Structure 1
């Protein structure tokens, strides 16, 4: 299996090279040259297996330059029982008739990013042994909240790596900020920027593709890689849990092999829902991909009109991990739907860079609308949904998952579609305690940790220890910079 770049189809690299590089030289994203197939018989067979076994089966289709022993080492260590609070790893909870919550937040940082970022360090270090010789890997991360902590936790004290995370100073929850700024590890760094997530993401991409920066690092035996979902090694593990959810439905007798399901994903950067789309290309039976956005509804408008326009107000919301106006992984979808036309992709994303907008062809728009439904909701609707779901089903969801539930309910009312549906539940409600507590009518005047205790009492659900114990952790990282200072911050972190 080789990988091409979305902006240069003639580029051809192995999976190990794609994972180490993170992004192609011209700024494109790596994609498989073709998608391997998983049959219904395969699905029936792996439905009786563990998450680790399912992951090895799916990932083995893509990581063909890994030996079975290497892949087993990576997967079995990533999804160890002592790291996840659920034996299922990705737990499927039945919300109400035909609606299931795919709980992706039972890992060490209580967010779905753990599903990929517990595995990525193993994939990266194994890949590095194949394609690098005696070089240190510098990992740059832009985060809207959850990726940063999950990456820091995954890469802390991993030999041969250093990791630096940039986050928007006023664009993450207090708990998310504490998770990052108290991070332990001798090879980690965290820096706030005066700006939003898009500023952080654009800055990281610019540093990645700056030849002068790359040459300076090379002089010191350092190469860049990424832990954002622009890195194929971060995206491919996410394909697994959609297959796993389907297998759980099969194993529980909820569906028959071949039955289609809907998939609902709250997303800003489009990586999580793209993973479901890729699973479908491989044979997962999907009826509709439902893309849920908050007030930053650039994806909703794009699906409806075919016009991607980031020239709009940026909203800071109670679902901060979705406060994004530049959805990087949409590039991979467009590449696929244009028939892998790298010239068209380059043209569109040049327009986005220069003008802040682009419009896809009528043919591409029709393809998108045949498969995807886009919807959005504001903070008020999000909080209403949290309360309604809790009151009706005694199920507590976070501010991002609530967006997905609300958008799905609107889709179902609008279309009458009663296809069995899997909703991606992306974070523990305790990561956004203040907003969740407010939705339930609790006291939000107290500090974060008093709120955690109150939410636990109100919901009768125990708070994750790794969040409750943050109050005893020392803050290590307090630096805040202008977005134009990111390159210098990288050099300082690397001692250059």
Structure 2
């Protein structure tokens, strides 16, 4: 297995080189030169394995310069009971009388976020990749975040030798839970900041830094390799493919799906580019995903691209109670176009150049039709999120975080228009305890959270829904958290050099 760039340059890279670099020199993104294929027997076999071994089996398909024993050892350590409990990832049936609808629970990790499943692999895989490439340099990982990815990156990489991480938070400009968690997660080798720039603007700026030859060369002079912990890096995509494979194996094993069925519906919150792109790769590998349903809120950049074949950066990001969806365009849009448009580098480069230079994407009619056939999108009114959360809680006794509640509500709207019922997997990406204000207002009445401390809201929410507060949230105290430093649009390069003490 080798890796190539979405920009179509002829150079190929080993898996270790691709992971270590993060992005290729031409400014594109790494993709597998060929997509491995799996059959139904291979999928079924995963259900007989512990989760760590199933993940290692998927990684083996993509990391061919890593041995099976190396990957199994890494996954055994990462997906341990200490990190993820007895059930690292599992499907949970929402209604005992409805065998078709399942949550894919991904909130069992140290930060109670789906990002843990990929981020915890980062230091181990990159350290092993460094051994294979033999450069001996420190790795500086940049990440743009709306919260979860940055928190998971800082928590995972804090105080780990030969790693440093810088997180740039695209927030609303108002202090909130995510800022407190980012601050609490910072160790000596970490830097977290806030910005009024949008997530897409921060992501694009990070990509420019990664492609800045002068900056890269200057850092290498100081024995530092610049890379990213965002899903721009292929290292973040593979573990997501793995939990989709795991979900499919469970559906087969529990006879929710049988051989020859059309497959299952996968519902993905739209701001999560890694989950969306990984779904395309999983389907291309042979997983029986009948439909990928992309859920968006009032931020319609991605839904416009899917429905109409157009996107404009002139759309301003609206900050809502669904911060993971407050993204105008996922950073993985280049991989998305590359795979949907049959890996046609020339077409992809034209669209991406328009995005970079003019802030627009306008697919031609043929490509727009291909996009609509590959993905389906549904937008929900995020101003109704409290009623979604309360309705689901009343019906099922599940207190779902806002993003999962939105995804389930969108799926139900879509399902009710269909004539045929297929098994459905709805991604449960986060813990309700991360969204104290939204959850408390939804379950106890509008405005309830106002004036109450974080500790009181945590205790009351835990009592209401009958769950123990994860350790990730008990360690954060608002009164102890200093405000994050502000990094304005266009200042990431300067901030990197300042933080490293390089003139």
TM-score band, normalised by the shorter chain?
Answer: over 0.9
Is 1:416 aligned to residue 419 of structure 2? yes
Corresponding residue to 1:254 among 239, 253, 256 = 256
SS of residue paired to 1:311: coil
Q: Distance in 2 between matches of 1:17 and 1:353?
A: 26
Provide the alpha-carbon RMSD of the alignment. Answer: 1.8
Determine if the alignment matches structure 1 residue 302 to structure 2 residue 305. yes
User: In the alignment, does 2:195 pair up with 1:190?
Assistant: no
Partner SS, residue 444 of structure 2 = coil
1: CA distance, partners of 2:57 / 2:260: 19
Query: 2:453 matched to 1:447?
Result: yes
Alignment check: 8 A CA contact 2:167 2:193 kept: yes
Query: Residues 189 and 132 from structure 1, CA distance in 2 versus in 1: closer, same or farther, beyond 3 angstroms?
Result: farther
The runs of 5 or more residues in structure 2 that have no matched partner are none
Q: 2:42 and 2:201 mapped to 1: Cα distance?
A: 43
Gaps of 5+ in 1: none
1:232, CA displacement in angstroms? 0.3
Residue 328 of structure 1 is matched in structure 2 by 331
Q: 2:364 is matched with which residue?
A: 361
CA–CA distance in 1 between the matches of 2:479 and 2:38?
45
Larger deviation, residues 172-181 vs 115-124: 172-181
Which among 266, 280, 292 is matched to residue 269 of structure 2?
266
Q: Deviations over 1:44-103 (max 9, x none)?
A: 222111111111111101100101222122211111110113x22112110131100001
Residue number in structure 2 paired with 1:12: 12
Aligned pair in 2 of structure 1 residues 472, 373: CA closer, same or farther (>3 Å)? closer
Q: Return the alpha-carbon distance in structure 2 between the equivalents of residues 254 and 339 of structure 1.
A: 31
Contact 2:280–2:339 under 8 Å retained in 1: no
Matches within 5 A, 1:41-440: 41-85=41-85, 87-96=86-95, 97=98, 98-170=100-172, 174-259=176-261, 260-440=263-443
User: 1:268: Cα distance to partner?
Assistant: 1.3
Counterparts in 2 of 1:396 and 1:172: CA distance versus 1, 3 Å: farther
How many Å separate the matches in 1 of 2:480 and 2:132? 38
Residues 388, 409 of structure 2: 8 Å contact kept: yes
Does the 8 A contact of 1:144 with 1:171 survive in 2? no
Name the structure 2 match of 1:457: 463
Q: Measure the CA separation in 1 of the matches of 2:223 and 2:289.
A: 45
Q: Is the 8 A contact 1:261 1:287 kept in 2?
A: yes
Whether the 8 Å contact between 1:39 and 1:283 is mirrored in structure 2 is: yes
The DSSP-based 3-state class of the residue aligned with 2:4 is strand
Using the alignment, how far apart are the partners of 2:77 and 2:337 within structure 1?
A: 34
Aligned to 1:37: 37
Total equivalences in the alignment: 495
Counterpart Cα distance in 2 of 1:139 and 1:217: 12
Give the C-alpha shift of residue 258 in structure 1.
4.4
CA displacement, residues 103-156 of structure 1 (integer Å, 9 cap, x when unaligned):
111100111111100111111111111124221111111111100011112212
- Report how far residue 472 of structure 1 moved: 8.3
Find the aligned partners of 1:289 and 1:181 in 2 and give their Cα distance: 35
Cα 1:375–1:140 change in 2 (3 A) is same
Distance 1:10 1:473, change over 3 A: farther
**Per-residue CA distance 1:399-453 (angstroms, 9 max, x = gap):** 1112211211121122334111000011101111111111123421212221111
